[in-house]
Structure 1
Amino acid sequence: MQANDHWGRVERALAGEATDRPPIALWRHFPEDDQHADKLAAHTLAWQKRWGFDLVKFMPSGTYGVEDFGAVSVWKEQPNGARTVVKPAVVRTEDWAAIRDLDVRRGSYGRQNEALRSAARELGGSVPILQTVFSPITTARKLSTDRLYADLRRSPDAVHRALRVITDVTIRFALDALDAGAHGVFFATQQASWRILNADEFARFGRAYDLEVFAALKGKARLNMLHAHGDDVMFDTLAAYPVEMLNWHDRTAEPDLRGACPRFPGVLVGGVNEYGALQRSDLHGVASEVRDAIAQTGGKRLMLGPGCVVPISVTDAAIEAAVRAAREGAPSGSASR
């Protein structure tokens, strides 16, 4: 298999077949420049050219989905490059009614797929590219901050009405991303945690709307990845989603990769603690994590990756250590899963 046969490597991993090495992908934010389509596209292409990853996780700012609804965000020098909402669109329960439909080809939404289209054109289909799409309830949380949790319990109808609008917008944005050249979505949920919601609340306000998005993508996307953000995630609920790949903080939250193997039939994405050896530039530690991830899974149905975005301070040497360890990994046909 050629070093640049990214599709072949990913597709064999998806099929549970042997590959020359496990596929690998790391991703990071490009703060401030991610507010400009041309700069975001340029960073994406430079990142992929530098590292030759087996998948491109497109990296718009984490607040792109709330700006067109009226929220305001800024970058406050966070180490992971993420922006902070400083002016929520929803500050009172009545404000949910102001969440109205919008055109995903304009404004912030439009800018993200404009950037993706430019990057995808240059990549020419040589590598899978996934547009980042936030779950409707995650967008609702960013629109309102913690007010969401009180309102979904005390004024559920108001929240459902807003989620209906957000879901429709999310679906149109995801479909537009496919038209722009994405092969699927990186679907991020930040509310599927036992620390935040109970099973019934997540089923009604989270899962129900999430599944509408995936239903709209069925037969159109080549592969989708689900990202479960945070601690104490509802792993088994999320593992039943119709996705090909699943990513979570496997180094700091349960389950680990070994425990997840029998619980998800697709490709597990993880093994690298973005705030551990990678951030410390502990090159031996990075390589050890990669080798351990391969050992936990037998190297099959595995894509080496971070639990979430890597800090913007991570050195080239640390990334190179992860890439080198992946390329030196044992052939994935050596064990079964």
Structure 2
Amino acid sequence: MLRRIFLALPAAAAAQTGQTSAKKAVSKKGSAAKTAVRAALSAKERVNRVLRGGDADRPPFTFWYHFGLEKYPFDRHVKATLEFHRKFRTDLVKVMSDYPYPKPKGKWHELKVDGNPFPEQIKALDAINDGLAGRAHFVETLFNPWTVAEKLSSKEEVLRMKNENPQGLLAALEIIAESQTHHARKAVEAGASGIFLAIANAQEGVLSRADYAKFSEPFDRLILKGVESAPLNTLHLHGDKVYMDLFYSGWPAAAINYSAHATGVGIAEVRQRFSGLIIGGVDEVKYRTLTEAVLKQQWQMAGDAAGKRFVLAPGCSVPDETTDEEMLRLTKAIKA
């Protein structure tokens, strides 16, 4: 009897060992499959996942830079944009849009609605869409109508007109907004995933809350409303004294990009009020001096505060003097 028991033990142990090995093999296969899925994420899918509030292999990241190509044909703009994306391996392409709004022959505010105010930019977007081949989202930058009016004249002239001829200014801003809405629709038709609307006047020292509500908000909304079905409309809230609370809800935009470092408004505070995608966390003002270790720290702090709906990015463009080596630090920090 004892002999039979002892003889059975090695067989049982072998069977158990076989089961354990099989389980380990299955476990390894499962882990390998998960790793393969994570590794297979394209930049576009990574952004899609965080946009839905889901898990990704890592947070998406992006940053941008003024190329200074507004005086050149669209093909140089396209080349610079695609090369930048490929070199720094960004997950979201923020297309710079520095071509000027067309000036009228008469006074700056004597405008007519333009169905295609930025034709070179539309050509560029078509080519960028072809170059990305569906592997990454790209968003088209637009400066809001107030800023366009300043570019057509000057900051002082727009403020003077606001005070002396408010109806004339409102009429001009509405025409600019309608023209920009045409452009926004063409941009989305060209493949853009949304409009990155730069709003620099919703802050103390530029406009009061009442003046922003009268002279800017209706026109900013008009543009975004024109492409409200786009998945990645983004409010770029520029400045250090932004009226942040005006933008937390009720806008046809999925994302907010702002500078936590310049405003002093923490990402945790924004997350309490805003449920959409937060794009930010990196200090753009001090960017050139930030080490990989500091960039990782900013990423971790911002990511913890923002939760899953988060894209790591600076609060605005990195300084024009930033070198390629300095820009590569962010890529290395997040992909290490």
Bin for the TM-score computed over the shorter chain: 0.7 to 0.9
Residue 53 (structure 1) aligned with residue 65 (structure 2): no
SS at match of 1:187: strand
Report 1 or 2 for greater relative contact order, CA contacts < 8 Å, sequence distance ≥ 6.
Answer: 1
Of the three residues 287, 299, 304, the one matched with 1:295 is: 304
Distance 1:225 1:32 in 2: 23
8 Å CA contact 1:283, 1:321 repeated in 2: yes
Which residue matches 1:82?
none
| 1:259 partner amino acid | E
8 Å CA contact 2:281, 2:315 repeated in 1: yes
Distance 1:196 1:183 in 2: 30
Residue correspondence of structure 1 range 87-102 to structure 2 within 5 A? 95=107, 97-102=109-114
Residue 327 (structure 1) aligned with residue 330 (structure 2): no
The Cα shift of 1:173 comes to: 0.6
Gaps of 5+ in 2: 1-37
CA-to-aligned-CA distance 1:282-309 (integer Å, 9 cap, x gap) = 33332322222223334x2110001111
Deviates more, 1:22-31 or 1:304-313: 304-313
The Cα shift of 1:326 comes to: 2.4
Give the structure with the larger helix fraction: 2
Residue 306 (structure 1) aligned with residue 298 (structure 2): no
Residue correspondence of structure 1 range 115-264 to structure 2 within 5 A? 115-146=124-155, 147-219=157-229, 221-240=230-249, 241-264=251-274
Change (3 A) 1:33 1:174: closer
The Cα shift of 1:189 comes to: 0.9
Residue correspondence of structure 1 range 64-83 to structure 2 within 5 A? 64-66=99-101, 68-70=102-104
SS at match of 2:168: helix
Change (3 A) 1:28 1:34: farther
CA-to-aligned-CA distance 1:171-194 (integer Å, 9 cap, x gap) = 001111112221211111111112
CA-to-aligned-CA distance 1:235-291 (integer Å, 9 cap, x gap) = 111222221110011111131212111111111111111221x21253333232222
8 Å CA contact 1:283, 1:317 repeated in 2: no
Gaps of 5+ in 1: 71-88, 329-337
| 1:134 partner amino acid | F
| 1:323 partner amino acid | T
Distance 1:236 1:34 in 2: 37
The Cα shift of 1:218 comes to: 2.0
Change (3 A) 1:45 1:206: same
Larger radius of gyration: 2
What TM-score do you get using the length of structure 1 for normalisation?
Answer: 0.82
RMSD: 2.0
Change (3 A) 1:312 1:4: farther
The Cα shift of 1:315 comes to: 3.1
Change (3 A) 1:17 1:157: same
Distance 1:244 1:238 in 2: 11
| 1:69 partner amino acid | K
Distance 2:39 2:277 in 1: 21
CA-to-aligned-CA distance 1:114-158 (integer Å, 9 cap, x gap) = 111111111112110111112112211222222212211221100
Q: Percent identity?
A: 29
8 Å CA contact 1:33, 1:39 repeated in 2: no
Which residue matches 1:85?
none
8 Å CA contact 1:189, 1:227 repeated in 2: yes
8 Å CA contact 1:225, 1:245 repeated in 2: yes
